[in-house]
C-alpha cells in the first residue's frame, strides 16, 4: 500500500531517536511505539534475536558480540534491511539509537525510499554532557525488584533502600563515572558526522536540549527544525 493511502491513525513513517546513553531516548522511543502500536527497533535486539534463532546472520555476528567488539556495518545493515522489510513495519516503526554513522544514515535513507516511506522524523537528544553523566552515575537499582532510582532526580524516601520492598540500592558497575565518561566521549566522536548529516538532509529534524518526561511525545505534533 502506498504511503499516501495508509490509514491516518498509523505512524506511517520511520521515527528515529538519537542521543547519548542516559539521555532518555529509549524511554521515549518505547512510549511512542506503544502509542502508535508500531514496532520498537534497536540493533541490539536484532543481534540477540538472530543469535538466539541461530540464523546465518546470527552465526556471523555471535563471535563479535562475544568479544565485545563493534559489529561491522556490513552485518548491521543486513539485519536492518531484513527487519524493516517485515510486514509489521509496513505502517512505520520507531528506531532507538540507529543510525549512528554517516554510512548507516545514508543506507537507511535509501532503504526507506525504496520501501515507499515518507521522509523520516529524527529526534535528537542533544543534552549537556555533564547532565547526562549525572543522570547515569546517579542511577541506583534495587537488588530485589530491579526498581530504578536516581539519587539526584528521583531519590528513594530512605537513602540506599527501595521504597517498594526495602531492598538495597546498588550502582551497576557500568554506571560508574570512570566507565561512563569514556563511553560518552566515544559516542560523541562516533555520531558527530551522523547528526550533522540528518540536520542537513530532507529529514524532519527535532532537537531536544532538556530532559523530558516519559509521556512527552505520544499524541503531540512534532515541530521539525530545518
Active site residue 25: yes
183 is known as an active-site residue: yes
Grid coordinates belonging to 113: 525510499
Q: Find the catalytic residue in 6, 13, 25, 140.
A: 25
Alpha helices, DSSP H, located in 86-160: 102-114, 129-137
Per the residue annotation, which of 100, 134, 135, 140 is the catalytic one? 100
SS3 content of the chain, % helix, strand, coil (to 5): 45, 15, 40
Distance CA 156, CA 151 (A): 7
All residues at 6 or more sequence positions from 207 whose CB lies less than 8 Å from its CB, including other chains: 124, 126, 225
Q: Which of 13, 83, 135, 139 is catalytic?
A: 139
| 15 and 92 Cβ atoms separated by less than 8 Å | yes
Would residue 139 show up in a list of annotated catalytic residues for this protein?
yes
Closest CA to 75 of 88, 89, 56, 92: 56
Buried (b) or exposed (e) across 198-220, using 16+ Cβ within 10 A? beeeebbbbebeeebeeeebeee
Catalytic residue among 113, 154, 172, 176: 172
Check if 225 is active-site. Answer: no
140 as an active site residue: the answer is: no
| Catalytic residue, candidates 30, 81, 118, 183 | 183
**What's 217's DSSP letter?**
S
- Return the SS3 of 97: coil
Of 201, 185, 194, 144, the residue nearest 21 (C-alpha): 185
Q: Which residues are catalytic?
A: 25, 100, 139, 172, 183
Amino acid at each position: 500500500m502506498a504511503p499516501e493511502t495508509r490509514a491516518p491513525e498509523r505512524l506511517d513513517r520511520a521515527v528515529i531517536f538519537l542521543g547519548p546513553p542516559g539521555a532518555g531516548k529509549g524511554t521515549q522511543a518505547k512510549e511512542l511505539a506503544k502509542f502508535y502500536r508500531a514496532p520498537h527497533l534497536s540493533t541490539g535486539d536484532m543481534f540477540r534475536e538472530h543469535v538466539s534463532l541461530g540464523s546465518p546472520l546470527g552465526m556471523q555476528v555471535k563471535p563479535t558480540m562475544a568479544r565485545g567488539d563493534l559489529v561491522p556495518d556490513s552485518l548491521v545493515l543486513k539485519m536492518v534491511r531484513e527487519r524493516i522489510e517485515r510486514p509489521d513495519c509496513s505502517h512505520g516503526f520507531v528506531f532507538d539509537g540507529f543510525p549512528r554513522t554517516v554510512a548507516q544514515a545514508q543506507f537507511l535513507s535509501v532503504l526507506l525510499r525504496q520501501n515507499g516511506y515518507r521522509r523520516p522524523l529524527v529526534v535528537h537528544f542533544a543534552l549537556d554532557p555533564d547532565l547526562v553523566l549525572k543522570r547515569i552515575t546517579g542511577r541506583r537499582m534495587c537488588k530485589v525488584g530491579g526498581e530504578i532510582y536516581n539519587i539526584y532526580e528521583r531519590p528513594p524516601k530512605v537513602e540506599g533502600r527501595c521504597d517498594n520492598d526495602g531492598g538495597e540500592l546498588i550502582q551497576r558497575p557500568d554506571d560508574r563515572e570512570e566507565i561512563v565518561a569514556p563511553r560518552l566521549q566515544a559516542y560523541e566522536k562516533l555520531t558527530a558526522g551522523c547528526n550533522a548529516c540528518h540536520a542537513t538532509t530532507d529529514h524532519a529534524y527535532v532537537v531536544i536540549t532538556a530532559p523530558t518526561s516519559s509521556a512527552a511525545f505520544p499524541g503531540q505534533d512534532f515541530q521539525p527544525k530545518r
